[in-house]
Amino acid sequence: MRVVIAGQGYVGLPLAVRAAQVGHDVVGYDTDARRVKQLAAGESYVEDIPSAQVKEILDAGRYRATAEPRELGGFDIAVITVPTPLREGVPDLTYIEDCARTLSRYLRPGATVVLESTTYPGTTEELVGPLLEEGSGLAAGRDFHLGYSPERIDPGNPTWNLVNTPKVVSGIDAESLAVVDGFYGSLVDRTVPVTSPKEAELVKLIENTFRHVNIALVNEVAMFAHDLGIDVWEAIDACSTKPFGFMRFTPGPGVGGHCLPIDPSYLSWRVQRTLGQSFRFVELANDVNNHMPDYVVRRLTAAFNARQRSVNGSRVLLLGLAYKKNTGDARESPSTRIARLLLDLGAEVSAVDPHVDLAQRVDARLVRVELTAEAVAAADAVVLLVDHDDLDLALVREHAAYILDCRRSLGRADNVEVL
C-alpha cells in the first residue's frame, strides 16, 4: 500500500521504517525541513533507528521524506503522529488539526486515516473526522475509513519495541477496524482490537496515568522516609520480592518527556470540561512530581549547609539532561528545572549528557562538559539525575567530593548520598 506517516519524530519515524521494511511504499511527511533533509541523506536523529535502516529503505525505493504536502496524494493509509502539547494546562491540538486539513485535500474514496497522537477520548470522531470530511467532501465510514491506535513507543528500551509490543487498534465502524487492524497486523506481532476510538484513546491515558500516579506515590514516600531516617530504597527492594500485588516503581528527580507530565492532564482536562469534575489522582500526582526538582535542590542545599558551604558560588556538576535513561530526548526533563533553580541560586552549573545534542538548549548559563576525572574533581557536588549506561559511574565515584545520587546507581560510599 501507499502509506503516509505524518510526523517523523520518535513515534512516526520507527513506524515509517517498519512499514517500508515489510514492503509498503512510504512517504514520511514532516513540516520540519531540517528533519526532512537529514532523512533524505539517510541520517537518523531518533536513537532507536540506526541511520543504516533509513539508508536501506531509501536505497530500496520504499521510503522518501518530504515537507511538500502535494507529495501526499494517492495514499491508501495515512497515519497522524504529530505532537500534542499542553499550553497553560489546555490541550493544544493545532498540529492534529493542521495535519487533518492537509490530508483532507488528498483523501480519496476507500482510503484510511489513523490517528496515533496522544489525546483525549473523542478526538478522532469529534475533531479529526469532521475536518477530513469538510476538506474532502467525503463522509467518514461511508467513503473513507477512520481509526485510532495509541503509540506505545518507549525510547531507549532494549527489550520492547514497535514490533513486539502489542498494538491497540480501533475504527469508527467494523470496516474501518478491519482495515486498521490489517495494516498494523502487517507491522507488529500482535494487535489488540477494541470497540471504538474512544476506548483506544483512553488506553494510552490510563497507561500513563497509572505510571504517573505510582511514581508520585514512591516520590512522596521517599521524601517522608528520608525525614524519618528510613532507607526507602531498601524497603522497595524488599517489596519487590512479593510475587503478587506489587509492581516496582522507584523515586527520582521528577518526570519528563511527552507522556507523564502531559498525557494524564489530557484526561483530567476532558473530565473537567465534560463532566465538571476534577480528576484528583492526576492533580495530586502532578503536584508531587512537578515539585521533585525543587526537593532535589533542597536536598543539595542541605548537604552544602552540612558542610558549611553555600549553593551560591559553588560548582555543581549535573549528570544527565535527558528525561530518561539512554535517550537524547530532553523534553520536559526535570534536569532542566534543577539546572535553572541552581543557576538562579548563584551556583556555577555544568552538565554532562552524551545523548542530548546542543540544539536542545536548556539554559544559556549552563556549561556543557565532557565526563572526565578533572571535571568531576573540580565540582563541589555532583548530582546524578539520569543513569545512562555509557556514563562512567566508577570514575564519578572515585573523583567526586560529594554525590547526590537520584537513581541509586552508584552504590554505597562515604561520598554518596541517595535521594
Cα-based angle 416, 390, 235 (whole degrees, multiple of 5): 40
Out of 99, 239, 259, 406, the active site residue is 259
Cα-based angle 76, 77, 82 (whole degrees, multiple of 5): 145
CB-neighbour burial class of residue 47 (10 A; exposed 0-12, middle 13-18, buried 19+): middle
Cα-based angle 117, 120, 121 (whole degrees, multiple of 5): 105
259 is catalytic: yes
Can you spell out the DSSP letters for 368-394? E----HHHHHH-SEEEE----TTS-HH
Compute the distance between CA of residue 300 and CA of residue 128 in angstroms, rounded to an integer: 47
End-to-end CA distance of the chain: 52
Contacts of residues 218-227 at CB distance under 8 Å and 24 or more positions apart, as own/partner, are: 218/249, 218/250, 218/251, 219/251, 219/252, 219/288, 219/289, 219/292, 220/288, 221/251, 222/251, 222/419, 223/295, 226/299, 226/419
> Residues 101-124, buried b or exposed e (16+ Cβ, 10 A)?
ebbbebbeeebbbbbbbbbbbebb
- 341 Cβ contact list (under 8 Å, min separation 6): 293, 294, 297
Active site residues: 259
